[in-house]
């Protein structure tokens, strides 16, 4: 009998990670490298992709990392990447649907205007759906179908605690700011994240007997240099009393990607310090 730890090995497995250059995408990359796999990072921006690759090649000099500058909402681009990977490796073993428009709210959401529900522009709604849901659907269609043909594969759909609960908009409020200028987490984020859990359940049953397992990972409230006032407000909503740390993700991701979780499909795995049970 092999060691239990052997089940966590994903040696030579080709794992596609969307939004791979982002904050959590980098932690997924680390998980794949730690398990001995080959991460394939897809992102729209070249510079951060190159930087992430360079950094990880320093930390894991023996490894192979593939990067593709691509927009996951374009099916033909995904088909091209699929062909390149199949030509080179002959198999695609996993997909982490991680990319999403993730407006950083804390500190006044500098990347958003004062957008509330009543004036959320249709363009933003459409873009959020396109990246978060359509992109995930297309990646599952293109890469998941390869796994179905192989009779083996794993998909992780990244949702959020906001795929389970509604945002508590009070934590984003700023003292002394007029009501109409307050920033709120957009409805599109909630809809995308709830949708990811639905996509997981659909695909988990659709592929259940085809060897492809599909699960949802719900990260929550990652600490990333937010202002202390925000950290205190959000921490008060979390039973463990603190935000999550980047290093708390890779082990769970590797578990979900590997044979260690061979009987798990359709599950929602929460890394939220208990926030959704309060
Ligand atoms: N950071 C958190 O606290 C947190 C909490 C809960 C859930 N999440 C979820 O985790 C995932 C990653 O979040 P993050 O904080 O790392 O976000 P991030 O913004 O740092 O990373 C997202 C990445 O996706 C890329 N991307 C955007 N549109 C794309 C497209 N059309 N094609 C290809 N790539 C595209 C971006 O360039 C970026 O690198 C998201 O699904 C997010 O909703 C994050």
CATH number at residue 151: 3.40.50.720
168 domain-assigned:
no
- Supply the residue whose CA is at minimum distance from atom 36 of ligand 1: 19
The answer, yes or no, to whether any atom of ligand 1 lies below 6 A from the CB of 158, is yes
CA nearest ligand 1 atom 44, residue: 219
Ligand 1 within 6 A of CB of 29: no
Mutate to test the pocket of ligand 1, among 67, 81, 102, 216 (most ligand atoms within 8 A of CB): 102
Question: What pLDDT was estimated at residue 103?
Answer: 74
On whether residue 233 sits in a domain, the answer given is no
pLDDT tens across 40-67, in order? 999 999 999 999 999 999 999 999 999 9
Atom from ligand 1 closest to the CA of residue 130: 31
pLDDT category at 181 given cuts 50, 70, 90 is confident
Q: Is the CB of 226 under 6 A from ligand 1?
A: no
Does residue 112 lie within any of the structural domains? no
Q: Is the CB of 73 under 6 A from ligand 1?
A: yes
Least confident window among 35-39, 175-179, 222-226, 255-259: 175-179
In-domain check, residue 111: no
Q: Is 157 in the pocket of ligand 1 (CB under 6 A)?
A: no
pTM above 0.85, yes or no: yes
Q: Let me know if residue 227 belongs to a domain.
A: no
Q: Quote the pLDDT of residue 236.
A: 97
What are the tens digits of pLDDT across the range 5-31? 999 999 999 999 999 999 999 999 999
On the question of pLDDT at 228 being above 90, the answer is yes
Position 112 pLDDT exceeds 70: no
In a domain, 53, yes or no: yes
Active site residue ranges: 189
| Residue 180 resides in a domain | no
**Does pLDDT of 109 surpass 70?**
no
Per-residue 3-state assignment (H helix, E strand, C coil) for the chain? CCCHHHHHCCCCCEEEEECCCCHHHHHHHHHHHHHCCEEEEEECCHHHHHHHHHHHHHHCCCCCCEEEECCCCCHHHHHHHHHHHHHHHCCCCEEEECCCCCCCCCCCCCCCCCCCCCCCCHHHHHHHHHHHHHHHHHHHHHHHHHHHHHCCEEEEEECCHHHCCCCCHHHHCCCCCCHHHCCCCCHHHHHHHHHHHHHHHHHHHHCHHHCEEEEEEEECCECCCCCHHHHHHHHCCCCCCCCECHHHCHHHHHHHHCHHHCCCCCCEEEECCCHHHC
> Which protein residue has the closest C-alpha to ligand 1 atom 11?
98
Task: Identify the domain containing residue 53 by its residue range.
Answer: 4-104+122-163+189-222+245-277
**C-alpha Rg value of the chain to the nearest Å:** 19
Tell which one of 130, 219, 244 to mutate to probe ligand 1, the residue whose CB is within 8 A of the most ligand atoms. Answer: 219
Report whether residue 195 contacts ligand 1, using a CB cutoff of 6 Å: no
- For residue 8, tell me if it sits in a domain: yes
Domain count, the chain: 1
Looking at per-residue pLDDT, the higher value among 112 and 70 belongs to 70
pLDDT at residue 221 is higher than 80: yes
Q: How far is the CA of 2 from the centre of ligand 1 (A)?
A: 37
Is 127 a pocket residue for ligand 1 (Cβ < 6 Å)?
no
């Amino acid at each position: 009998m092999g060691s239990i730890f052997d089940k966590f090995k994903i040696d030579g497995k080709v794992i596609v990670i969307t939004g791979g250059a982002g904050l959590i995408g980098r932690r997924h990359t680390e998980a794949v490298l730690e398990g001995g796999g080959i991460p394939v990072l897809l992102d729209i921006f070249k510079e951060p992709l190159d930087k992430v690759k360079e950094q990880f090649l320093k930390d894991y000099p023996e490894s192979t990392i593939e990067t593709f500058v691509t927009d996951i909402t374009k099916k033909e681009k995904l088909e091209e990447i699929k062909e390149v990977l199949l030509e080179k490796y002959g198999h695609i073993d996993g997909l982490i649907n991680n990319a999403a428009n993730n407006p950083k709210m804390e500190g006044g959401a500098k990347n958003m205007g004062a957008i509330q529900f009543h004036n959320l522009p249709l363009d933003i709604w459409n873009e959020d759906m396109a990246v978060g849901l359509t992109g995930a659907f297309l990646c599952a269609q293109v890469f998941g179908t390869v796994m179905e043909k192989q009779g083996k594969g794993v998909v992780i759909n990244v949702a959020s605690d906001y795929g389970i609960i509604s945002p508590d908009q009070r934590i984003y409020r700023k003292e002394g700011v007029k009501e109409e200028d307050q920033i709120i987490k957009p409805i599109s984020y909630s809809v995308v994240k709830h949708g990811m859990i639905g996509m997981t359940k659909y695909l988990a049953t659709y592929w259940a007997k085809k060897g492809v397992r599909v699960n949802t990972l719900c990260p929550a409230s990652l600490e990333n240099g937010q202002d202390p006032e925000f950290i205190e407000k959000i921490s008060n909503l979390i039973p463990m009393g603190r935000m999550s740390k980047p290093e708390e993700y890779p082990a769970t991701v590797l578990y979900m990607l590997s044979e260690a979780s061979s009987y798990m499909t359709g599950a929602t795995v929460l890394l939220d310090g208990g926030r959704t049970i309060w």
